[in-house]
Amino acid sequence: MTRGDSTAKAAGIVTLVVAALLGSAYVLGRSLVPDQQAQRHSTGITSNADAPGYADQPSGGEPSGAPSVSGSAGPAQAGQDGSGRDAGDDQLFGAHATTGSPRLALTFDDGPDPQYTPQVLALLREFDVRATFCVVGENAQNHPDLIQAIVNGGHTLCNHSWHHDVSLGTRSTDAIRSDLLRTNDAIRAAVPDAPIVWYRQPGGAWTYPVVSVAHQLGMTPLHWSVDPSDWELPGAGKITATVLAQAEPGSVVLLHDAGGNRQGTVDALRRILPDLTARFELEALPTDPT
């Protein structure tokens, strides 16, 4: 091989690597852009009093201005789940966005929370509805009684990472695996035999590694199809209107029972449940997904 050949080959490899990196950054950027837009939008029209909600961090976590993750995504790092219903299939990496049946599933993220989770559970009980709770590991550790209440109510569980790490999917597979296992351990410290067969990536920021690790650990990636952006605190009326307008057979509805002031979500739920239960069969996502 001549010097010129090897130089050309090296240049070719460099070009490929750069292209791959740019491609990854592009995909990551696309997946986070809606959160960034929502973040700017929300902070532009509301007071700081609601900041913990926008941060979407578990109560007691760091302030919204100090996200725990590294990277270049800016405010979206502390972003909420949601604003992702327009995500294309290429951004979901196979994560389920519907129930796969005519039944509709309500999902509640970021808890459990001692103020709002009991209110949500009481409403679900009142309307004889079972749902799925995507819980954050450290919140499960802090509130094992609420994990027990969720399971005792006939609801199912979904792993939502230890600390709501929106960038978890960009970490090493070892780090991802450790985070998900730690979360499952916290859940099982409360309910030892709890089936945990779903994983929802915070912010819906799916990557191939996080989907792969979830599968390896026996969990199916779960996205959503109806998102009223309740974490933006649009008010119970708007949350209600969005859910009722967009719900259809197979919908997976994204709501939050923690991460900020969720009274609007609770109030909306009281209006949503009579309508949805009249139009659909509601289910807790099954613990034996295929």
3: which 2 tokens? 């010097």
169 contacts Zn ion (rule: CB under 5 A): no
Has 81 been annotated as catalytic?
no
The DSSP code for 74 is: G
Stretch that binds Zn ion, among 29-37, 61-69, 79-87, 263-271 (CB under 5 A): 79-87
Has 163 been annotated as catalytic?
no
154: which 2 tokens? 């006939």
179 contacts Zn ion (rule: CB under 5 A): no
H/E stretch holding 146 reads helix 144-152
111 contacts Zn ion (rule: CB under 5 A): no
- CB atoms under 10 Å from CB of 28, counted, come to 20
Nearer to Zn ion by Cβ, of 23 and 63: the residue is: 63
C-alpha distances out from residue 55 to 8, 108, 175, 233, 274, Å? 48, 17, 22, 12, 31
Q: Name which of residues 4 to 43 contact Zn ion (CB under 5 A).
A: none
Nearer to Zn ion by Cβ, of 202 and 209: the residue is: 202
Nearer to Zn ion by Cβ, of 163 and 177: the residue is: 163
Q: Which of 85, 126, 115 is nearest to 225 (CA)?
A: 85
The pair phi, psi for residue 199, each rounded to 5°, is -130, 130
The DSSP code for 285 is: P
Q: State in angstroms the smallest separation of the CB of 57 from Zn ion.
A: 10
67 contacts Zn ion (rule: CB under 5 A): no
Candidates 42, 57, 58, 110: give the one binding Zn ion (CB under 5 A).
110
202 contacts Zn ion (rule: CB under 5 A): yes
Q: Computed from CA positions of residues 202, 265, 220, 191, in that sequence, does the dihedral angle turn out positive or negative?
A: positive
Nearer to Zn ion by Cβ, of 5 and 57: the residue is: 57
Nearer to Zn ion by Cβ, of 227 and 283: the residue is: 227
109 contacts Zn ion (rule: CB under 5 A): yes
CA-CA distance, 275 to 115, in Å (whole number)? 25
Please name the residue that has the structure tokens 């609420």: 146
CA-CA distance, 51 to 153, in Å (whole number)? 31
Stretch that binds Zn ion, among 92-100, 106-114, 262-270, 282-290 (CB under 5 A): 106-114
Catalytic residue among 109, 110, 165, 230: 109
Candidates 35, 81, 179, 227: give the one binding Zn ion (CB under 5 A).
81
Binding site for Zn ion (CB under 5 A): 81, 109-110, 202
Residues marked as catalytic: 109, 256
